[in-house]
Structure 1
Amino acid sequence: MKFTNSLIASYERHALEREHSSTDAFKARERSEFLQRLRDEQRCSILEVGCGPGHDAKFFQEQGFEVVAVDNVPAMVKLTREKGVPARVLDCYNLDQLSESFDAVYSMNCLLHIPQADIDEIFDLIAARLVEDGLMYVGVWGGDDFEGILERDTYEPKRFFSLRRTETLLRVLQKSFRLEYYRRLEPRDGIFFHSVIARRRPRR
């Protein structure tokens, strides 16, 4: 399953709402954890996958990193470019259209829209955009391996989600990456969040 027009339409409709929203404190803490790791390793370049309105991309740019951002929603890319961050309309399935390699990939709340049947492919595509021993951060909401349209979703059109258990996410991720950091956060009752830092495995 590729990204559907309804998913893109949903985010187009809510782009300005997301532009004016603030970053959750727990997400900011996890972002800082990744930032420190990048500084410790003297990394320079970051690809953000699923940049939304560009808040995180701009944050990393202001910290001195060379940032390229991609999103499949044109309105989100426009907002990111308005912040002075290089951005392209591109979805996860087409990361091989990028010619650059990056020290790191950062993806916050994007991969929860990737079906389980496709997630191996996406992690392989991300790994291919990284330099040898490059780092990846993934932050996503988790669940009991639920997959489908979330009926309680407040967005219209309602969005497709794939909400994975810890073991499901890490099992797939570790085919292309070596796990370096994992935290399961519970910022709200009954809802949890995966925060992962992983290193690209050597190419065979």
Structure 2
Amino acid sequence: MSRSEREQDLITYYSNEIQARSGRALPEPRVARRTAFLERLRDEGRHTVIELGCGPGRDGEAIAGAGFAYTGVDLSPASVEACRALGLDARVASVLELPFEDGAFDAGWTMSTLLHVADEDLDRALSEIVRVLKPGAPLAIGLWGSAAGGEQVWEDGTGFGPGRFFSIRTDEVLRAALERYGVVEEWVTWDGDRAMHYQWAVVSVSWGRGRLRR
């Protein structure tokens, strides 16, 4: 399956699932980490935040509501429309090619998004995220991981659309990837379902590490 095919399947699925996702509560550990992350940004005097994979704006609404200048990006036009309906700045874009200048944002936030990026594209995605952040900016990343890892197309039987591509990474693989782009300042995991766990990290990004040339 090509990258464009994977992305189109994701757009179809999440466009159809938008209402269900909008009404779904976020896990408490994620909400608590978000609160702590925003407190850190406030303490450090940071103002602009970009979210990669904004979905219907569940995190975005909280970030903007806390007083930050928020920008969300998502592959799904339906997700972007949902964010705009909440009064959020959101744009259709791929994490592999972001329509922003170098160093445009003070901080980054991306939850359960990079697991839809194939291993072969992960460095390109991380490099692009680092490019649009200021040097030293904190980047919060959340992903589903497992002890085995692996890539697959998952059919969940919900009827929302075609199977979605997932790249599930072990803790060791993910940490090694993140360390190519900065200092991993926080690393926490908590149990989930389907024999997976959630991986949470905050990286202080560095332009001098692993950044790919455009």
TM-score normalised per structure 2: 0.89
- Match 2:139 to one of 136, 139, 156: 136
**What secondary structure does 1:53 align onto?**
coil
1:150 aligns with 2:154: yes
- Match 2:175 to one of 170, 173, 197: 170
Greater percentage in strand: 1
Superposition deviation, residue 148 in structure 1: 1.5
Superposition deviation, residue 188 in structure 1: 3.8
- In 2, distance between residues paired with 1:142 and 1:65? 30
Superposition deviation, residue 153 in structure 1: 6.0
Q: Tell me if structure 2 keeps the 8 A contact 1:53–1:80.
A: yes
- In 2, distance between residues paired with 1:203 and 1:141? 27
- In 1, distance between residues paired with 2:7 and 2:70? 27
1:184 aligns with 2:193: no
- In 1, distance between residues paired with 2:84 and 2:63? 14
Structure 1 residues 87 and 152: alpha-carbon distance in aligned structure 2, compared to 1, 3 A threshold? closer
- Match 1:98 to one of 97, 100, 104: 100
CA offsets, 1:15-47, max 9 Å, x none? 111111111112111212211221221211100
**What secondary structure does 2:187 align onto?**
strand
Moved over 3 A (4+): 151-155
**What secondary structure does 2:11 align onto?**
helix
Any gaps of 5 or more consecutive residues in structure 1? none
**What secondary structure does 1:93 align onto?**
coil
1:41 aligns with 2:48: no
Output the amino acid matched with 1:49. L
CA offsets, 1:144-195, max 9 Å, x none? 2210202446453110000100010011111112100000111447320000
Structure 1 residues 167 and 34: alpha-carbon distance in aligned structure 2, compared to 1, 3 A threshold? same
Any gaps of 5 or more consecutive residues in structure 2? 210-214
Q: Tell me if structure 2 keeps the 8 A contact 1:19–1:53.
A: yes
- In 1, distance between residues paired with 2:89 and 2:181? 27
1:32 aligns with 2:35: yes
Structure 1 residues 189 and 89: alpha-carbon distance in aligned structure 2, compared to 1, 3 A threshold? closer
Counterpart in the other structure of 1:11? 14
- In 1, distance between residues paired with 2:191 and 2:7? 30
TM-score normalised per structure 1: 0.94
- In 1, distance between residues paired with 2:157 and 2:202? 28
- In 2, distance between residues paired with 1:192 and 1:37? 25
Counterpart in the other structure of 2:212? none
- Identify which range, 143-152 or 57-66, moves more after superposition: 143-152
Q: Tell me if structure 1 keeps the 8 A contact 2:131–2:207.
A: no
Aligned length: 203
- In 1, distance between residues paired with 2:43 and 2:154? 39
Output the amino acid matched with 1:83. L
